[in-house]
């Protein structure tokens, strides 16, 4: 059944991609989205400042749109499932029982739907780890895009890269894309969360801090 759901979600994303429609909906674990409009490439449109090399101790998980019970929002990257995954991969151990894989399976990483975990998925994760690690070691990886909220840097793009940098004690090059939080998509997310405010207190606190500072 999970495989059928995964396939249907993939088809829905493909169809909505042709129509440019974005669908945000509430689930038991948080807000999910079909045809997410914010991708790594268009984040460059919101770039306002280069921050240079930043310590990974100063990088935090951004708005994952999960309810307070499940969210990683506000967690330092070095305390996150992304970091522990990189350690397991680096040790060449099985990742099947990691918190990251459990969250990926249950749709508890971010806005994306649950993923059916199989050897193809875990193999892909290992391949990306090897590929990204080589780029990290040669300093040829893309910059980390962050949102600055009251002096704290929340990762808008590059959580896996940040975690791998932390593992190798490398300070990643970061750029500020803070205006993205004022995009109509995130304002829509904010409005939906306000309707269910008791379940999204952590997100609402960040949104309101960002919006307060812009006034």
Give me 189's structure tokens.
């997310």
Query: Could you tell me which residues are beta bridge partners of residue 157?
Result: 145
Residue that has been written with the tokens 């090897």 in this structure: 130
Q: Are strands 23-26 and 31-34 parallel, antiparallel or unpaired?
A: antiparallel
DSSP-assigned letter for residue 79: G
Taking all residues of the chain, what is their mean pLDDT, rounded to a whole number?
89
Distance of alpha carbon 188 from alpha carbon 204, whole angstroms? 12
pLDDT digit string, tens, across residues 102-141: 999 999 999 888 898 999 999 999 999 999 999 998 989 9
Per-residue pLDDT at 14 = 56
State in Å, rounded, how far the first CA of the chain is from the last one. 48
Q: Where residue 44 falls among pLDDT bands split at 50, 70, 90?
A: confident
Q: Which pLDDT tens digit goes with each residue over 67-95?
A: 999 999 999 999 999 999 999 999 999 99
Query: What's the CA gap between 144 and 35, in Å, rounded?
Result: 23
Average pLDDT over residues 186-199: 95
For 150-159, how does the pLDDT look when each residue is reduced to its tens digit (9 = 90+)?
Answer: 999 999 999 9
The tokens of 35 are what?
Answer: 């045809």
Full-model pTM: 0.89
Is the predicted pLDDT of residue 1 greater than 50, yes or no? no
How are beta strands 144-149 and 173-176 bridged, if at all? parallel
Question: What confidence category does residue 9 fall into, taking pLDDT thresholds of 50, 70 and 90?
Answer: low
């Amino acid at each position: 059944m999970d495989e059928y759901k995964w396939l249907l979600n993939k088809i829905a994303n493909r169809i909505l991609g042709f129509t440019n429609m974005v669908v945000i909906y509430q689930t038991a674990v948080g807000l999910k989205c079909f045809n997410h409009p914010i991708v790594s490439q268009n984040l460059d449109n919101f770039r306002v400042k280069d921050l240079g090399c930043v310590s990974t101790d100063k990088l935090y998980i951004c708005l994952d749109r999960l309810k307070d019970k499940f969210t990683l929002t506000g967690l330092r990257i070095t305390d996150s499932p992304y970091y522990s995954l990189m350690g397991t991969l680096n040790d060449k151990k099985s990742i099947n029982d990691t918190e990251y894989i459990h969250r990926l399976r249950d749709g508890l990483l971010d806005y994306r739907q649950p993923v059916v975990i199989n050897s193809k998925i875990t193999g892909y994760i290992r391949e990306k780890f090897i590929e990204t690690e080589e780029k990290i070691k040669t300093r040829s990886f893309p910059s980390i895009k962050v949102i600055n909220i009251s002096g704290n840097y929340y990762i808008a793009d590059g959580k896996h890269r940040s975690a791998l940098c932390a593992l190798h004690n490398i300070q990643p090059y970061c750029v500020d894309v803070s205006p993205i939080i004022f995009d109509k998509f995130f304002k829509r997310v904010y409005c939906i969360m306000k309707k269910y405010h008791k379940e999204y207190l952590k997100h609402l606190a960040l949104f309101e801090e960002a919006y307060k500072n812009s006034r």
